[in-house]
Structure 1
Amino acid sequence: MTQPFPLRRAAPGALFLLAALPLLAAAADRITGRSFATRSEVIAPHAMAATSHPLATQIALDTMQAGGSAVDAAIAANAALGLMEPTGNGIGGDLFAIVWDPKSKRLHGYDGSGRSPQALTLAEFERRGLTDIPPFGPLPVSVPGAVDAWFALHGRFGRRPMRENLAPAIRYAREGHPVAETVAYYWGRSVPRLSPYPGFVEQFTIDGRAPRTGEIWKNPNLADTLETIARGGRDAFYKGEIARTIDAYFRANDGFLRYADLAAHHGDWVEPVSTNYRGYDVWELPPGGQGIAALQILNILEGYDFSEIAFGSTEHLHLFTEAKKLAFADRARWYADPAFAPAPVDWLISKDYAAERRALISRDAVLGTVQPGTPPELDEGDTIYLTVADADGMMVSLIQSNYRGMGSGMAAPGLGFIFQDRGEMFVLKEGHPNSYAPGKRPFHTIIPGFLTRDGEPLVSFGVMGGAMQPQGHAQIVMNLVDFGMNLQEAGDAPRIHHDGSTEPTGQNAPMTDGGVVQLETGFDYEAVRGLMNLGHRVEFALGPYGGYQAIRRDPDSGVYYGASESRKDGQAAGY
């Protein structure tokens, strides 16, 4: 079989351990000298699924074995994850996807994000004396886009009836399932924050507390909602009794989401955009999401010869951090709802612009303050990610989120889901690209990724986790292409997270001190000290490194390789 990525050895001492295992020593594999992975890649001849919950992975496989497409399987798994991992997603949130269609031999993108309520204005925030949109409660709620996205994807690529795709989630919601360990942990952290909001305690706690690891959790209200959607289609959610219940709930609880907002909602098919990184085409969706930040980072780093720079070395860590700062300065300035503030995407992801930005990087000094670029023609948060591939060669890269973990805390009576708080990403300032406006989509952090080579599908992948996502996407591509890791090693490798860049939300001051570099356990201490000697502020952080799933297709045999995130509960599996 073809080895699609160059094989290289890891730097000495760069064992890829997790922050959750800080007491283990670093070392390379004694026999091969190659990087450590928590498990082998999963390999299967016909189909593959990788999700953040083993039961959802099994549902995806069952769906495909019953004749469903990869899109059917992704929808079925996503519906189940809304029940099983409400700490990261649900039908109260938004959804983005990239689909490789073997018939058309091209990628299709879907932007399933919702818009702000028409009845809520910037003047209303000013009247309330708010300078930022609060993270919880009714004010950050925007229209949920996930259900619309399911039906749009199904209408183009589905094979099984939607009632069959939703049946496993409905059954588990009624009969119950044991709560996974990581989910239980985050659920426990969410309950104190969200308990004050109407409907949350009644529908998302057991006697006022979060369910414990292994405890059976049922959600009959969600089962009823999914059954209604299965019978009546997307309009049952956006124009039926569910929409009327949502309208009444927000009217009664100082909210602004209305029936008319739901009835007017639509997602959009969008063209994915790409850059070529050392012979591999890396694909993302255009803004309002942040996917092109990954492309900008990679374009900048392409100018350095990483065949001479070891993984985990001071030089690797430094160059990556500086490239991230430059891309994120543009992210803060340019990424927004294109219907209100179109971004110069072609220029931002061009090689010429990358060369300009690369020239700002010094190998022996740190960028403290970074300004966004100016186009020549102008004056001037938890998530789930899953990927599925079927026997026909269809591959789906799908990401879905409530934004902050369990979202706003707002849970309409009898519906069994929590509304997202994505509206927190708006800026309460006139003239900003992400300034709040009625009927506008907020800046989005959730991004699916894809790799192709010579026009053929290669890797469907994603890294969930707020601002970590484009940083994670770039690191996965580098791990595969520059450092020759396999699919599982690429995810298990310790990650870099830079924090402190100017944000698109305007909720932090512009970066003037270079920010802070957070490094996961597993990097060599000499490399970390070298980073500090250059002037970087380095700190330990437990948790901001995201969650990864991926599927690779062997271009010669069609065999699938799967990898899953060792920092979460999930798994990859195939048949």
Structure 2
Amino acid sequence: MSKEFMKYPSRRSTVYSHKGIVSSTQPLANAIGLKILEKGGNCVDAAVAVSAALVVTEPASTGIGGDCFALYYKLDDKKDPKSGKVLGLNGCGRAAQNVTPQDVWNEHNGGKPMARIPYTSVFSVTVPGAIAGWYDAYKKWGSGNLDFGELLEPAALLADQGFPVSELASRAWRNSVPKLTKQNPNAKANPFIDDNGQGPAEGDFVKNAPVAKCLRLIGKEGKKAFYEGPIAEAIVKTTNARNHKLSLDDFKNHTSTFVDPIKLQFQDHKVWEIPPNGHGLVALLALGIIQELHNSKKIDLKKLEHNSAEYLHILIEACKLGFYDSDEYVTDPSFKDIPIDGLLSSSYLQKRSELISQDKIIDGDTMSHGVPDPKYKSDTVYFTVSDSNGEACSFINSVYEGFGSGILVEEFGFCLQNRGSNFNLTPGNSNCLEGGKRPYHTIIPGMITNSDDSLYASFGNMGGFAQPVCHVQHVLNLTLFGMTPQQSIDSPRFVLNSNNDDDADRGRGADGPVRTPITVVQLEEGIDEEVILKLRSLGHEVQVLKGYSRQTVGRAQIIKNVSKDGTLVYAAGSDFRGDGAAVPFI
């Protein structure tokens, strides 16, 4: 490792194992994942069990009422590490079939048009896709050695018998108590708020009997228990009482989608993402633009200094261009033909790269999405698990904001996501709210393979719109700078956000970093002051994140394949910005 990275001292050591690793934000979830591997489950089985455990232990971040996405690196021949392929699962739910923008305007703005769905609106609730995603991943990709109920029972036991809450989970939990209180004024019992009207402090012992009941019902009957039984009925009753239009048919008709992941060749590696309606496309566009800048000799990737002003400026501008395109092209592909091949073509990426100046920032008042050659047609808690087969699962499950909408399904002890907030309400726009449509989605698992199709890394970085920006940084950290997983995670990151000027909202795409003309660059402390001053001189609006505000850059988990001479070895890192760790299976 270059001495250059000694200025970013690791908070934790990189973890190594020759049999498998579980890496998540919660220690109890890690322990459950290891139990499943010990029972003969594969990385997918363990990922489902970890997801269920995180529902219990980190409910502000994820839940039964959320969505999931997954990438699975599968070997066709377990004895041949070059026989792998990357498979994808979109476990996102859809808007109510009969909902319209007018319903939102009537509820929140006296019938007059508005650009966005409020984050606590009942109309931000879409059909939760996570449970179908868990079950479908298990059925199609699981080992076949365990029953579905065996994967969920450890989480149900935690919820039923109780568990001590970790430090950062406690902080996020307690910060959401005002929302939970306001959103559920008539709740007879709220499992997330104690008798004193507070959330748990670090180390407090909590239980959630209703969610244990829910998990066991799903474990016994599979996804049908959620989408056609009393759980669906409870959700519809809860949302309809607030004037939503979700119906039992919306739940009964829900399906997961197995998808072909999209990929980009970057240097000597292939980077894989879930296709739209996920916004992994942003990361691939940014990486492709950076590659084209290198190809045209406007930059030399091998000479760029990590986190220098020149380096950060290039990454910031490339990511911004990715977001401008996402405002047009990240939507439900069932509602719009998305020219993925054209967007990721060298000719298009080269053309977009020409918009980047090394002397100034992109003009946010005039910049918009690009149009690829018409000849091209296209046919958000994060954790990762690897196993002794040489396979890996990159998995993400989320309710979006803290406890999602904050709307509690009291009978079963979970809150509903607010993913619908990433629709816009501008009729005719790509990502406008429509009945039965999947929204622009921020949660994205990542995967990297070598040029010979062997596994390089399974990785991800939760954090809303921070995710593709952080994916770009991790790919460069690992493949260009040679960082270990833990060094990549520990190094200071940057993210992008809009300046939240609602009057300047374009009403396009999602509620992302380029929805307004001014994009704010948020840098973690640890980046040199001279670099910050240089970025500001180029025109960037820069904020420095310190202390707990560093949570804005999300929490990463990375497992890298470092096998040598035919011996399987994994190296892994886990984010110090979360409570968990990377834990080896022995």
* Alignment match, 2:269: 280
Which stretch shifts more, 299-308 or 391-400? 299-308
Give the counterpart of 1:219 among 208, 213, 216: 208
**Is residue 521 of structure 2 the alignment partner of residue 536 of structure 1?**
no
Q: Secondary structure at the match of 1:202?
A: coil
**Is residue 166 of structure 2 the alignment partner of residue 191 of structure 1?**
no
The answer to whether the 8 Å contact 2:509/2:515 transfers is no
Give the counterpart of 1:548 among 553, 556, 559: 556
* Alignment match, 1:23: none
In structure 1, C-alpha distance between the alignment counterparts of 2:188 and 2:25, rounded to whole Å: 24
* Alignment match, 1:10: 4
Deviations 1:507-541 (A, max 9, x none): 8885434x222111111122222222222222123
Percent same amino acid at aligned positions?
36
**Is residue 480 of structure 2 the alignment partner of residue 492 of structure 1?**
no
Deviations 1:4-30 (A, max 9, x none): xxx54427xx833xxxxxxxxxxxxxx
The answer to whether the 8 Å contact 2:66/2:130 transfers is yes
Give 1:371 deviation, angstroms.
1.9
In structure 2, C-alpha distance between the alignment counterparts of 1:184 and 1:437, rounded to whole Å: 36
Query: What pairs up with 1:480-519 in 2 under 5 angstroms?
Result: 480-500=478-498, 504-505=509-510, 511-513=516-518, 515-519=519-523
Give the counterpart of 2:101 among 113, 122, 132: 122
Give 1:456 deviation, angstroms.
0.6
Deviations 1:91-134 (A, max 9, x none): 10000000011236211100000001123223322333351212
Q: Secondary structure at the match of 2:405?
A: coil
The answer to whether the 8 Å contact 1:497/1:519 transfers is yes
**Is residue 410 of structure 2 the alignment partner of residue 413 of structure 1?**
yes
* Alignment match, 1:377: 374
Give 1:260 deviation, angstroms.
1.0
Give the counterpart of 2:310 among 315, 320, 325: 315
Q: Which amino acid aligns with 1:174?
A: D
**Is residue 22 of structure 2 the alignment partner of residue 49 of structure 1?**
yes
Which stretch shifts more, 444-453 or 181-190? 181-190
The answer to whether the 8 Å contact 1:191/1:210 transfers is yes
In structure 2, C-alpha distance between the alignment counterparts of 1:512 and 1:418, rounded to whole Å: 34
**Is residue 91 of structure 2 the alignment partner of residue 112 of structure 1?**
yes
Give the counterpart of 2:352 among 345, 349, 357: 357
Deviations 1:281-328 (A, max 9, x none): 100011001001111111111223122111121111111111111111
Query: What pairs up with 1:52-201 in 2 under 5 angstroms?
Result: 52-103=25-76, 105-128=84-107, 129=111, 131=114, 132-158=116-142, 159=144, 160-198=146-184, 199=187
* Alignment match, 1:424: 421
1:517–1:173: structure 2 CA closer, same or farther, 3 Å change rule? same
Q: Which amino acid aligns with 2:322?
A: A
Task: Tell me the number of residue pairs that the alignment of Structure 1 and Structure 2 aligns.
Answer: 544
Give 1:136 deviation, angstroms.
1.1
In structure 2, C-alpha distance between the alignment counterparts of 1:77 and 1:288, rounded to whole Å: 24
In structure 1, C-alpha distance between the alignment counterparts of 2:458 and 2:513, rounded to whole Å: 33
In structure 2, C-alpha distance between the alignment counterparts of 1:359 and 1:9, rounded to whole Å: 33
* Alignment match, 2:282: 293
In structure 2, C-alpha distance between the alignment counterparts of 1:66 and 1:200, rounded to whole Å: 40
In structure 2, C-alpha distance between the alignment counterparts of 1:101 and 1:376, rounded to whole Å: 34
Deviations 1:448-477 (A, max 9, x none): 000000111110000100110000000000
1:40–1:508: structure 2 CA closer, same or farther, 3 Å change rule? closer
Q: Secondary structure at the match of 2:437?
A: coil
**Is residue 378 of structure 2 the alignment partner of residue 368 of structure 1?**
no
In structure 2, C-alpha distance between the alignment counterparts of 1:389 and 1:325, rounded to whole Å: 33
Q: Secondary structure at the match of 2:213?
A: helix
Deviations 1:336-385 (A, max 9, x none): 0101122211111222211111111111122122221112329xxxx500
Give the counterpart of 1:522 among 519, 523, 526: 526
Which stretch shifts more, 487-496 or 530-539? 530-539
Q: Which amino acid aligns with 1:209?
A: Q
Mind listing any 5+ residue stretches in structure 2 that lack a counterpart? 78-83, 500-505
* Alignment match, 1:206: 194
Deviations 1:386-441 (A, max 9, x none): 10011112210000110112111111222111111111111111101011111110
The answer to whether the 8 Å contact 1:137/1:410 transfers is no
The answer to whether the 8 Å contact 1:365/1:534 transfers is yes
TM-score, normalising length from structure 1? 0.91
Q: Secondary structure at the match of 1:196?
A: helix
1:315–1:228: structure 2 CA closer, same or farther, 3 Å change rule? same
* Alignment match, 2:458: 460
1:516–1:190: structure 2 CA closer, same or farther, 3 Å change rule? same
Give the counterpart of 1:259 among 248, 253, 256: 248
In structure 2, C-alpha distance between the alignment counterparts of 1:410 and 1:175, rounded to whole Å: 25
Give the counterpart of 2:443 among 443, 446, 452: 446
Q: Secondary structure at the match of 2:411?
A: coil
In structure 1, C-alpha distance between the alignment counterparts of 2:556 and 2:188, rounded to whole Å: 29
In structure 2, C-alpha distance between the alignment counterparts of 1:552 and 1:317, rounded to whole Å: 24
* Alignment match, 1:22: none
Give the counterpart of 1:561 among 571, 581, 586: 571
The answer to whether the 8 Å contact 2:443/2:462 transfers is yes
Q: Which amino acid aligns with 1:38?
A: R
Give 1:247 deviation, angstroms.
2.4
Which stretch shifts more, 527-536 or 384-393? 527-536
Q: Which amino acid aligns with 1:480?
A: L
Mind listing any 5+ residue stretches in structure 1 that lack a counterpart? 1-6, 17-35
Which stretch shifts more, 434-443 or 522-531? 522-531
Q: Which amino acid aligns with 2:193?
A: T
Q: Which amino acid aligns with 2:417?
A: Q
In structure 2, C-alpha distance between the alignment counterparts of 1:67 and 1:510, rounded to whole Å: 47
In structure 1, C-alpha distance between the alignment counterparts of 2:176 and 2:536, rounded to whole Å: 35
* Alignment match, 2:81: none
In structure 2, C-alpha distance between the alignment counterparts of 1:361 and 1:87, rounded to whole Å: 38
Q: Secondary structure at the match of 2:287?
A: helix
In structure 2, C-alpha distance between the alignment counterparts of 1:257 and 1:291, rounded to whole Å: 28
* Alignment match, 1:571: 581
Q: Secondary structure at the match of 1:269?
A: strand
* Alignment match, 1:479: 477
